[in-house]
Amino acid sequence: MRKDTAVFIITHGRAEKQLTLDLLRQSEYSGKIYLVVDNKDEQLSEYKKKYGDMLLVFDKKKYAKGIDTHINSFSMNSALFARNACIDFARQLTFKYYFVCDDDIKCVKFKDGRAGKLKTQVAKNIERIFSAMVRYMENAPLQELGIIPDNTYIGGVNNSVKRGVKWNVCQIALFKTASPVTFKSIMWEDVATLSRDIKTGKIEFSPMFLSQCTPANGTNEGGCKKMYENSSDYANSFMVLLDRPDAIKIEFKKGKFMMRSNHAAMHPCIIHERYRKERDDA
């Protein structure tokens, strides 16, 4: 793997269970890997003992003071702070590119829908995929490039597969250190941040020929599990709505609240230069 690229695995309360790290090691990933943990983690001593120089520790209270959490009273058990701490670690360690990964990724898959029927193959060489993503980012004006969750492909060759991209990035994301993405919102920070950024014309997406798998919601202890158990879909959705009231609404259907996006309003509409009218300043 390139020496100017690092993988940061954000983790909390899972010193004994590092699925993403295991996946990278099994695929013989040769690049730099770091575990990013906060100084309030109850398992910090276990992390230090087990991972040594791989461990990067940040001051959670320090990052909580300087970040827009979208709410006055909030849980400190959020991935928001770790995601932003990775920006500073990438700068300090002088990496040009960096991946931020959740700690519970079990596998990465290739998806092929060109024949009209979706085919899946588990990827064995994660390094080749990550290297290709970095090369792509080198030659494209991107702020963020990701690998989408596997459940995005439910329904087979859907519109996103046909379009080739999904305007969503979560759990695995690649960034440029020179122009990083600053996250905000205590919950659903990835969705809220992307919704904010694409309004200003920033390009952040996941290609629709890759996916990644994680344990089912609520089955993996540690991480942000307790915070989301004490929250609700309404509160989570409202975090995104605060950034994009022009494109997001919350509906109550079938006994629960659901967030709906107006995709036509989500992206900026840029008028072609040929429609420009000359100004008459006389």
Model-level pTM? 0.88
d(CA 35, CA 37): 6
End-to-end CA distance of the chain: 60
CB contact burial 177-195 (16+ within 10 A = b; e otherwise): beebbebbbbbbbbbbbbb
Single out the residue of 158, 172, 164, 186 nearest to residue 74, CA to CA: 186
Q: Give the pLDDT score at 75.
A: 67
Q: Give the pLDDT score at 160.
A: 73
d(CA 224, CA 75): 10
Below-50 pLDDT ranges, the chain: none
Q: Give the pLDDT score at 224.
A: 64
Output the CA–CA distances (angstroms, integers) from residue 154 to 150, 166, 211, 233, in the order listed.
8, 13, 12, 21
Q: Give the pLDDT score at 44.
A: 96
Single out the residue of 170, 185, 166, 167 nearest to residue 236, CA to CA: 185
Q: Give the pLDDT score at 278.
A: 78
Q: Give the pLDDT score at 136.
A: 96
CB 93 within 8 A of CB 6: yes
d(CA 14, CA 222): 6
Q: Give the pLDDT score at 281.
A: 67
Planar angle of CA 218, 196, 266, nearest 5 degrees? 95
Give 152's DSSP letter.
G
74: burial class by Cβ within 10 Å (0-12, 13-18, 19+)?
middle
Q: Give the pLDDT score at 158.
A: 73
44: burial class by Cβ within 10 Å (0-12, 13-18, 19+)?
middle
Single out the residue of 89, 60, 87, 88 nearest to residue 75, CA to CA: 60
Using DSSP, state whether 265 is helix, strand or coil. Answer: helix
Q: Tens digit of pLDDT for each residue in 223-278?
A: 666 666 667 788 888 888 988 999 999 999 888 888 898 888 888 877 888 888 87
